[in-house]
Amino acid sequence: MDGADTTDVLRAALAAGGTTDAGSNQALDRLYERCTPRLLSYIRLKLGRSLRERLESRDILQASLLKSFQHLNDFRGTDGQSLMAWLARIADREIVDRADYHTRQQRDAGRESRLDDHPELAARVRSVLSQVIVDARADALEAAIDSLSDDHRQIILLRKFEDLSFKAIGQRLGKSEDACRMLLARAMTALTLKLAGHGGGR
């Protein structure tokens, strides 16, 4: 997802006033088609192996997209970077929510029917989801990142998936910007080696 291009699409979507007209819908659809593949990979990586055995990543993606459409007016960012971070936070809350339900062995009966409660938004979400294709390279990348150390996986998620600045990452991790840059460099080196081991080099 190209940051500058995504920023242009985002501004067009927000300028059109949310989801109220055809021009806005078209801009938003383009925007979400850019973000959704990365968001799905982010969700899968945040879940990790253990939670992926219990939670369906595409269900979380679907719920996260629906919530973002419903609360688009709450979004205060102005560029693609801030949008991806906002979507990631929505997904994070959805993951925690669903994990809590599973831990308590409770069933959220309304969760699966929420799309049906919002037919217009449901059509938009399903349209976006139809554009998501997870190919062998994406699987190899996820497997390689999944096998990294916690520190390396976290810095890659924050920088490459959430698109956070090094200043924001430093605040999140309690490290200096330079330390975050060095950590990312080491993490990317480790990832390159892992990808080679998985046969996923590009």
Structural domains of the chain, ranges and CATH numbers in brackets: 3-129 (no CATH), 136-198 (1.10.10.10)
Cβ atoms of 134 and 85 within 8 Å: the answer is no
Q: Mean pLDDT over all residues of the chain? A: 75
Cβ atoms of 1 and 35 within 8 Å: the answer is yes
Taking the CB of residue 20, how many other CB atoms lie within 10 A of it?
9
Which residue from 176, 14, 161 is spatially nearest to 79, judged by alpha carbons? 14
DSSP string computed for 28-45: HHHHHHHHHHHHHHHHHH
CA distance 134 to 84: 19
pLDDT of residue 48: 75
Indicate whether 135 pLDDT > 60.
no
pLDDT band at 202 (very low <50, low <70, confident <90, very high): very low
CA distance 189 to 193: 6
Indicate whether 110 pLDDT > 60.
no
CA distance 200 to 184: 20
Highest mean pLDDT among 34-38, 78-82, 95-99, 188-192: 188-192
Q: How many residues does the chain have?
A: 202
pLDDT of residue 16: 57
Structure tokens at 200: 């996923």
| Residues ≥6 apart with Cβ < 8 Å to 53 | none
DSSP string computed for 61-128: HHHHHHHHHHTGGG----SHHHHHHHHHHHHHHHHHHHHHHHHTT---TTTTTHHHH-HHHHHHHHHH
Indicate whether 12 pLDDT > 70.
no
pLDDT of residue 5: 58
pLDDT of residue 127: 62
